[in-house]
Structure formats: C-alpha cells, structure tokens
Structure 1
C-alpha cells in the first residue's frame, strides 16, 4: 500500500481539532508528565519550567504520537501491522504500544544505532531491522518494504502521529496558563509543529521557538528556502535531532507561523546536559536539552523574567554520548579528554566525574 497521508505535493496542515481527538484516544495509555520549575532558574535571569516527557515509559513524547495513530486505526491495523523508521524514540514508542495492542511491529533503525537501544526495542516486542547510515536510509527502506507488503508505515510526519504529539502543548497550557513561551527541540519538526498548533490555539500570545544543533540546521534552511531542503548530517552530540530534512506536513503546518528558530552551538548543548544532570538530577540525552542550551547561549534575551517552557523530549543516554559530551566540554576548558575516557567506565565513575567538575 502506498502511504497517501504524507504527500509532498499536497501536504497536510495539522488542525487543533485533530489534537483534541488525540487527547481522548491516548488518555488511558500515556503518562501526564509534570511541568517542573527548573532549579536552573535560580542561576539565570529566566523563569524556566521543564515538561518532563522523559518520564514516559520509554522515555519520550513519541509514545503519544504512536498511541494516537494505533488507536485511530483500530482493528484494521491488527493483521497488517506497522513499520516504523526511526532514530530511536519513535521505535521505542511504537514497540511498546503496538505490543500492548498485539499489533505486529517492525522498526527500522540506522546501522549505527546503539546496541542497547536496539535490544530494548526487541525486548518490547518489535522486529528490529538495522539499515543504512541515517534516518533517511531507514525511511527509504521502510517505504520500499511498505510497497511490497500490507504493513502501514508510521513516521513522525504522519498527521495522526503529529496530533498525538500536540497533546503535550495542551498539557503545558493547562498546567501553567501564564506560559509566555515554549522552546521545542527539532528533529523532523513534528513536535514543534504540533505544539505550535495546540499552544497558539489555547493561548495566542504564547511564543513558540524551535531549537536545533548548528551542525544540522535543517529547519532553519527550510525556512530560508521556503520549503523542506536536505542538509548534510554532520556528527554532533545531539544525535537524536539528526534528520537531514524536515517533514512535508510539518513544514506546511509551521510555515509563516513560527515565532523564531534558534540554532544552538554544540558546546552549549554539552554544558546544558551537564547543568541539567547536576542541578535538576535528570538524565536525558543531548537532543533533549537543546532547548535549555538555547537559553544558556543567550538566544532568547526577550524572555528574561518570563515563564518559558523547555521540552524534554527524550532520555536515551548511552555511554558513547557521555564520552562525547565530556570531550566536547573539555575543548571549552576542564579535564583532558584522556581523563574523561578513563573515568567514564561505569555509572558510578560518571557521576563522580561530574561532581568534581
């Protein structure tokens, strides 16, 4: 079956009504995560709150999107199953919720995917396929398999998945109606598009910002070009944001409505992860702290003294991330890279290292 829900010639613009329907569909299957005032606020001239989506069962808000899509399809998806290309979070969310409903699920991950993440997907009940070097390769493979099978392809750019992600925005404005701004990490851009729709509808004065790593600025390039364009994937700490191109439905929803796009330097992403671990005692990966990094870099001076929300979209943190982060911070001054490598051999030594910095 050819997927007609993602058509670059006729992109779908997400509506608030779709998100409201998603709220009802996923109500019993996800965690309504807390909105926590960040301890970082005491050390910065910003009132920062963290929407801790890393507390979902598999560690990210991707669960909301997958749950909504599976419930919306209902019984007709039971025999056909789904195939999900992903860099990690969508795969975990799909594996968990598809297994809950007894739906066959195949996840396609890039070859370089952490063995721990791939194993976790298998534990949750998914068939795991490792293919290619990037998300784009995984997506191309999934589309090929879909054309040759009866499986339904679900990706972040699917309108049903986007609608599920939009429920995060409804929770934010409900939990803190005085919200002035929301800063969202950008991978494919689906979460940003979904929150733009939900937050702006509930509070039109709420500012919506996207945040992405400067090494892979796919959303900024798309906004400049007026359409999605491909950018090269350059190795960086925020691997979870490494999509070479934003989604067509995502861009159609965002175009002309986003308040600003923030391009964050990698060194600030490393600093943000360290600060979040030290001060908030929260474990997330570098993609998940990109929004905090944008504030630390001084990219939003207009928000000083206002209530801004930073979305923690994920928490997949593995040893290779920790080493890379330490070495990146070292380039800014501190322990030598060799010291980091020696000390990051176990979780205990990892926490000890941070405590001494």
Structure 2
C-alpha cells in the first residue's frame, strides 16, 4: 500500500515540475445540484492533465536509479507527461502509440521531444512494445497507473484538495485504471477518513464498478466511450486493493449525461475540459450522489481535447 508519507514525499519532490492547481466554482452549478461544489482544475495542470504528477515522481526515481532512457505506452495524457519529464530531466523518451493515434496527440508528444513508435491499436499491444524498447536501451518503462510512485504522485491532488477546501465532505474522482483515485484515497483517508470519496465511470467502461461490486478484479471486453481516457479493460493489480479497502462508492454515468456535463462546463464556466473530466460533473448534475447541502470537490482531470471534436461532445439542446 502507498502511505501518506509516500504522497508527501512525492509532493515535495514534484514542486519544480507540477502546478498547484486552482479551485474553481460555479454558482449556477451549486444551484442546480443543491450543494456547494468546488472544481479541482487539473485541466490547467502542466501538460494539460493530472498525469504529470505521477510521471514526475516515477521519472525522477528512475533517474536517481541511473536511468538515461524512459518509455511509455500511451496515446494521450500519460505519454505527453512522460515526454515532458524526459525533456526536463535531460534524458530520452520513446512513447509507443496506437497506429490510429490522432495528429494532435502526436504533435503534443513531439513538442516535448518525445520519440514516437506506432504499434497496434490496443494497450495489450503497446505496453509489451514499450517494455521491450526500454529493456533494449537499458531504460525504464513508466506505467500509466499501476506503480507505487505513480500512485503516490497522483495522491498529491488529495493533499492539495484538503489544503484548499478543509471542510470538504465528498471528493468525486474519474476512474480509469485507478491511479488517480487510489492515490487520492491513500492521502485523504489517512488525513481525514470521514471524507467520502466517490469514483465515477462511464457505464460502457465499468470495469472498476464491476470489480468493486464483486470484490475482485473483473475484466471487460473492448468498449467505446467519449470519455476515452477512462477506457480500460480492468483496474490495476496495485490500484484495485486500495480502491477495495477505502472507496466509499462508485457510480456510473451515461454517454448523454457526460455530454450534458461537458456542455455545461464549456458553456457556463468557459473551461475547456476532456469528456473524461466531465464524468464527475455528470455524477453531480444527474443526482447520482444522492446528497444535499454538502461541500463537494469534483476533479476536472484533464483538458487535452481535440478542438475539432468539441461539437461531437456537446449535448444537443
């Protein structure tokens, strides 16, 4: 298990590379849901998502161990974060992406001097390739979520939340592979176990929901959702035990609910987020938390959206 001390150590070590992101509010959102809502703006984070927190912590540890080369398997936020850290640390990085990765994501990785290798269309194909490249170059593979340094790095979000909203009662977190939520749980439940932590998944990508219900890791077939950053086949071997022990609840949201939430945030708060970020707002607006008059922190996990796709993500009002 990741300890609070691990998270605090990551926070100290990451200061040079990670923004202390702001809390945003919306009076209209408060009125609509009958709660006081705070938005943790990780979409304004360096490289555009929370992923830099874990990547920074793991990459620095790799360099301390003598690595001069790191790899990752990712078509999106994790790949950008790893490339950014390699560039900052003065080492090389190769990011293995799918054959059908879009040009916007490729350009973002290359902007940080990351080398691109294309391989297949699934993570099951990309991850072994990235691990193989790391081994061939005496390098280190940086996992997207299932690693104690990654989990501890993501947990720094939880420490910041309690510093910014000390009277928080509920924290709502998007769930993909589980790195972010397991990190937040590791920090928050050791600092204030009374705070309720709720995960949110798309109902078409419900692997952690099913695993949480059965008490054991449960895989699902390949799926689609506009919240593509949350599209995993199963939770991690390291992340799931933390989720199983500490998580208070996990709710599912539909594609239409995600679109409604995305539309609301873009139109009413003028913030550009990813659909993966919108799931937390979807859970709040749809009433699935079943609470009133609470102080709720919702995490906006990233903002790396292809602007040409925004119309596709908007609800048809």
The interval holding the TM-score normalised by the smaller chain is over 0.9
Task: Note the alpha carbon deviations across 1:89-116, whole angstroms, 9 max, x for none.
Answer: 1111111121011111111122232211
Indicate if the aligned counterparts of 2:33 and 2:287 stay in contact, CA closer than 8 A.
Answer: no
Which residue in 2 is equivalent to 1:312? 300
Which residue in 2 is equivalent to 1:143? 131
Which residue in 2 is equivalent to 1:122? 110
| Larger Rg over CA atoms | 1
Task: Note the alpha carbon deviations across 1:59-110, whole angstroms, 9 max, x for none.
Answer: 111111111112223343442x111112311111111121011111111122
Matched position secondary structure for 1:166: helix
TM-score by length of 1: 0.84
1:50 matches 2:39:
yes
Matched position secondary structure for 1:182: strand
152-161 vs 34-43, which moves further: 34-43
Task: Note the alpha carbon deviations across 1:285-325, whole angstroms, 9 max, x for none.
Answer: 100111111111211012x1101111111111114532432
1:203 matches 2:192:
yes
**d(CA) in 2 for partners of 1:291, 1:61:** 15
**d(CA) in 2 for partners of 1:292, 1:217:** 17
Runs of 4+ in 1 over 6 A off after TM superposition: none
1:32 matches 2:20:
yes
Matched position secondary structure for 1:301: coil
Deviation of 1:147 after TM superposition, in Å, equals: 4.2
1:82 matches 2:66:
no
**d(CA) in 2 for partners of 1:131, 1:231:** 22
Change (3 A) 1:289 1:163: same
TM-score by length of 2: 0.95
Task: Note the alpha carbon deviations across 1:9-56, whole angstroms, 9 max, x for none.
Answer: xxxx22111111101101122110011223311332121110001111
1:182 matches 2:171:
yes
Indicate if the aligned counterparts of 2:32 and 2:285 stay in contact, CA closer than 8 A.
Answer: no
**d(CA) in 1 for partners of 2:65, 2:186:** 29
Indicate if the aligned counterparts of 1:136 and 1:244 stay in contact, CA closer than 8 A.
Answer: no
Q: How does 1:91-170 map to 2 (within 5 A)?
A: 91-155=79-143, 156-170=145-159
Task: Note the alpha carbon deviations across 1:104-146, whole angstroms, 9 max, x for none.
Answer: 1111122232211111101111011222222333223223334
**d(CA) in 2 for partners of 1:320, 1:132:** 24
Indicate if the aligned counterparts of 1:77 and 1:152 stay in contact, CA closer than 8 A.
Answer: no
**d(CA) in 2 for partners of 1:263, 1:148:** 41
Indicate if the aligned counterparts of 1:87 and 1:135 stay in contact, CA closer than 8 A.
Answer: no
Indicate if the aligned counterparts of 2:201 and 2:230 stay in contact, CA closer than 8 A.
Answer: yes
Q: Which runs of 5 or more residues in structure 2 are unaligned? A: none
**d(CA) in 1 for partners of 2:210, 2:22:** 33
